[in-house]
Structure 1
Amino acid sequence: MTATATVAGLADEVLDWRFKAIPASAWGVSVRELLASRPRLSDFGTPLLTLDAGALAANLETMAGYCASAGVGLAPHGKTTMAPALWERQIAAGAWGITLANVPQLRVGRAFGQRRLQLANALVDPIGLRWIADELDADPDFSFVSWVDSVRTVELMSGLLHAHGARRPVDVLVEIGQPGARTGARDIEEAVGIARAVAESPRLRLAGIAGYEGVVAHAASPRDLEAVSAYLRKLVALHERLTEAGLYDPSAEIVVTAGGSAFFDQVVEVLGPLASSNVNVLLRSGAYLVHDDGFYRGISPFGRSVGDSPLISAMHGWARVLSRPEPDLALLDGGKRDFPFDEGLPTPQYANGDPGPVAGASVTAVADQHTFLRLDPGSTVKVGEVVRLGLSHPCTAMDKWSLIPVFDDSSSTDPIVVDLIRTFF
């Protein structure tokens, strides 16, 4: 079954208590039937996380257009959403494939028919590696690539694949990292040695190099941006060394990949010139589709330097006022279990569709199930009213929700639900 057909089948899923976004009145009907009834925000309880259809479409078009004009490919990091329906939209918009972070995520990708997957990690788990080998052997149209950052990793993978009797070699990219940061070889000489080990293995195929510049900086000051560029120049130097040494497998599509959602403009500037008929420069930006009203709004290249069409936050939180125990304090019914907080607290935007009552308000803390909203003592926000929240960091938002309503227009007073996005975290 194709990925599109498998995703379409999600519309037949019957709704019940497992989906915390879904009201009890909808239990027993399918996703398709609920959408046909055109439910509105007022039909759903709180807390609630939602997406906006217009923002998703605009962000998809913006990033696809940017990559096309820059001459680079896009393998969006699917871990951000873990939503096969959204992956399919990204593929339809021209994405090379989907990037994922671990074996359970890869299994979701394969269950929904994804034909080209990148694991942005090493694969040394015997159970996972044997499963991938079986997937490759069973499906000649399935393409898979993972990363390696040590000779030991190469030896483990080669030995496990040999013992399992794998028929197809596994494509790997040599990862170069940063001292004191995450995974990846710490210098170019070490990375070249790893590449030689891959080239000598009959069970692996050297298909390129990889890195992640997001480990170098978490802000966009001139000093941070130069540190990112310096790191990316190491990838260029490694690629040149491997090319000169003839270590890439001549039968492989060569991949040079970097690029999260914060510094992809620099990846294009530094790595983009490497793109050619046999070298595919791939960005892995994942947060662009959903974007946010916090961290990525401040650091995304579309907000800093690229083009005239900034990304739009497609996600919002909705929480109800439970209590106003003090003149300047309201407690909302959503908290850490519902909304992201690791890259900035939620920001109040509207109360019952009107920004006036929360003007000047701020969220000062979140507990497991409560948000602390500090108000002007004269605020008219009342117990029972619903507050719309801007959120920061989609990577820790969607994992809290297995089914997410998509509104036609999140800025309207009582928006209509036009889709329900299923996630698989």
Structure 2
Amino acid sequence: MTTAINSAVEKGDAAIGAQLTRDVSLPALVLHRDALEHNIRWMQTFVSDSGAQLAPHGKTSMTPALFKRQLDAGAWGITLASATQTRAAYAHGVRRVLMANQLVGTPNMALIADLLADADFDFYCMVDHPDNVADLGAYFATRGVRLNVMIEYGVVGGRCGCRSEQEVIELAKAIDVQPALALTGIEGYEGVIHGDQAVSGIRAFAASLVRLAVQLQDSGAFAIAKPIITASGSAWYDLIAESFEEQNAAGRFLSVLRPGSYVAHDHGIYKEAQCCVLDRRSDLHEGLRPALEVWAHVQSLPEPGFAVIALGKRDVAFDAGLPVPLLRYKAGVVPAMGDDIGACKVTAVMDQHAFMTIAPGVELRVGDIISFGTSHPCLTFDKWRVGLLVDEQLSVVERMETCF
């Protein structure tokens, strides 16, 4: 006897209208609509009020439904990290991409050249080495396409990017002799600057970035009248915005900020970073709200004070802190009422299990549902093919597919 399976049920699979505590296969990636919409409005307003444009980093979620919301709210474009991410975003309607990375390798160049056959597609990528400039110039010349490039300026011991102002000037000269390349701006990433003097270091880096942009513009190195100057991850965007404003970057350049994790925020590293932003900016009366959670069942209670949760490394980020227990729900109970169990603590995660100590006074039973906050949303999103957008009643209002 054979059994026909009409459709596969993925983890977290649910129909519109499903109720989290009753109808959803867990674990599930959950996005709270009110917090999500607040975050999109908040960051767009912050960036616009700073005289800049927003190109949120799409690698955080790789969720086209979120790209659309960000663009509809006023984002200038979407930042991405690779040619394949760019192709995925293009397939879902994104028509302006700032690829904050080097375009390396002929197959990746071919992906972008194919997309540039669409005259409505606006694309920019980074360069930081003469070898890459030569390779890009040669390839795109054979394709009869002119590629917009931006020089990446980095810091010693950091990630990619030219390590000195002189390297930037020399690289601009190398770009100038490549007819298939157009120098359209300069880019940096301040998130690799750490330590007790991080704030002053970031301000100095931003000042150097603007100084280089002015020098290149004055020398006629840029191929466009108003070149792009861009920086900013999800922790120090306020400092970058202030530095660009103070140096009047918006007057001579198109200033673009690129935070990405703000859209979902978190209960870990970006929550801490947001507290620092609010401390630095007394005019900001409200910050971002955590919108992302992972929900899972209590799977086993093998010892007093110890629970095993059906949640593991394949479901949630663990690189920047372990999941944070938030609320406990009774399975099947609607309307869902959550009990605070914040004193419980996840101590370890395995592939499919999390170990959690049970705080005094908290009573759990196998099958209870717990919502968990996360730290570093990027590495939680990429473990899921679908996230569930829920309303205040915890009913699913939209299935948000990812495209990693």
AA of the residue aligned to 1:177? G
Answer yes or no: is the 8 Å Cα contact 2:30–2:294 preserved in 1. yes
SS in 2 for 1:215: coil
Distance 1:318 1:133 in 2: 41
SS in 2 for 1:157: helix
Partner residue in 2 for 1:261: 234
Partner residue in 2 for 1:130: 110
Distance 1:95 1:252 in 2: 21
Partner residue in 1 for 2:84: 104
Kindly state the Cα deviation for residue 197 of structure 1 after the two structures are TM-superposed: 1.1
Q: How does 1:70-149 map to 2 (within 5 A)?
A: 70-136=50-116, 138-149=117-128
Distance 1:93 1:310 in 2: 18
Kindly state the Cα deviation for residue 200 of structure 1 after the two structures are TM-superposed: 2.1
* Alignment TM-score, normalising by the size of structure 1: 0.87
Kindly state the Cα deviation for residue 113 of structure 1 after the two structures are TM-superposed: 2.1
Answer yes or no: is the 8 Å Cα contact 1:146–1:171 preserved in 2. yes
Partner residue in 1 for 2:269: 295
Match of residue 172, structure 1, among 149, 152, 163: 149
Partner residue in 2 for 1:321: 298
- Give the 3 Å change call, closer, same or farther, for CA 231–199 of structure 1 in structure 2: same
- Give the 3 Å change call, closer, same or farther, for CA 362–303 of structure 1 in structure 2: farther
AA of the residue aligned to 1:270? S
AA of the residue aligned to 1:355? D
Kindly state the Cα deviation for residue 190 of structure 1 after the two structures are TM-superposed: 0.5
Q: How does 1:30-45 map to 2 (within 5 A)?
A: 34-35=15-16, 38-41=17-20, 42-45=22-25
- Give the 3 Å change call, closer, same or farther, for CA 133–70 of structure 1 in structure 2: same
SS in 2 for 1:397: helix
Kindly state the Cα deviation for residue 329 of structure 1 after the two structures are TM-superposed: 0.7
| Structure 1 gaps, min length 5 | 1-14, 24-33
Answer yes or no: is the 8 Å Cα contact 1:206–1:252 preserved in 2. no
Partner residue in 2 for 1:392: 375
Matched, 1:20 2:3: no
Answer yes or no: is the 8 Å Cα contact 1:363–1:371 preserved in 2. yes
Kindly state the Cα deviation for residue 363 of structure 1 after the two structures are TM-superposed: 0.9
- Give the 3 Å change call, closer, same or farther, for CA 210–359 of structure 1 in structure 2: closer
Matched, 1:281 2:272: no
Partner residue in 1 for 2:137: 158
CA displacement, residues 201-236 of structure 1 (integer Å, 9 cap, x when unaligned)? 10100101001000112x7x5x22122222222212
Answer yes or no: is the 8 Å Cα contact 1:216–1:231 preserved in 2. no
Matched, 1:231 2:208: no
| Structure 2 gaps, min length 5 | 1-5, 330-336
More helix by share: 1
SS in 2 for 1:419: strand
AA of the residue aligned to 1:322? Q
Matched, 1:404 2:387: yes
Distance 1:313 1:117 in 2: 26
Kindly state the Cα deviation for residue 278 of structure 1 after the two structures are TM-superposed: 5.3
Distance 2:137 2:244 in 1: 30
Distance 1:97 1:169 in 2: 20
Distance 1:16 1:108 in 2: 24
Distance 2:92 2:342 in 1: 44
- Give the 3 Å change call, closer, same or farther, for CA 294–303 of structure 1 in structure 2: farther
Match of residue 351, structure 1, among 328, 345, 352: 328
Among the aligned pairs, what percent are the same residue?
37
Answer yes or no: is the 8 Å Cα contact 1:297–1:303 preserved in 2. no
SS in 1 for 2:39: helix
Distance 2:114 2:323 in 1: 44
Match of residue 312, structure 2, among 335, 341, 346: 335
Aligned residues: 387
CA displacement, residues 176-209 of structure 1 (integer Å, 9 cap, x when unaligned)? 1111111100000001100111122101001010
Kindly state the Cα deviation for residue 302 of structure 1 after the two structures are TM-superposed: 4.5
Distance 1:113 1:354 in 2: 38
Kindly state the Cα deviation for residue 277 of structure 1 after the two structures are TM-superposed: 5.5
Distance 1:48 1:388 in 2: 10
Matched, 1:206 2:189: no
- Give the 3 Å change call, closer, same or farther, for CA 18–185 of structure 1 in structure 2: farther
Match of residue 52, structure 1, among 28, 32, 35: 32
AA of the residue aligned to 2:395? I
Distance 1:354 1:19 in 2: 25
Kindly state the Cα deviation for residue 286 of structure 1 after the two structures are TM-superposed: 0.5
AA of the residue aligned to 2:10? F
Distance 1:379 1:18 in 2: 33
AA of the residue aligned to 1:407? V
Distance 2:365 2:56 in 1: 42
Kindly state the Cα deviation for residue 371 of structure 1 after the two structures are TM-superposed: 0.8
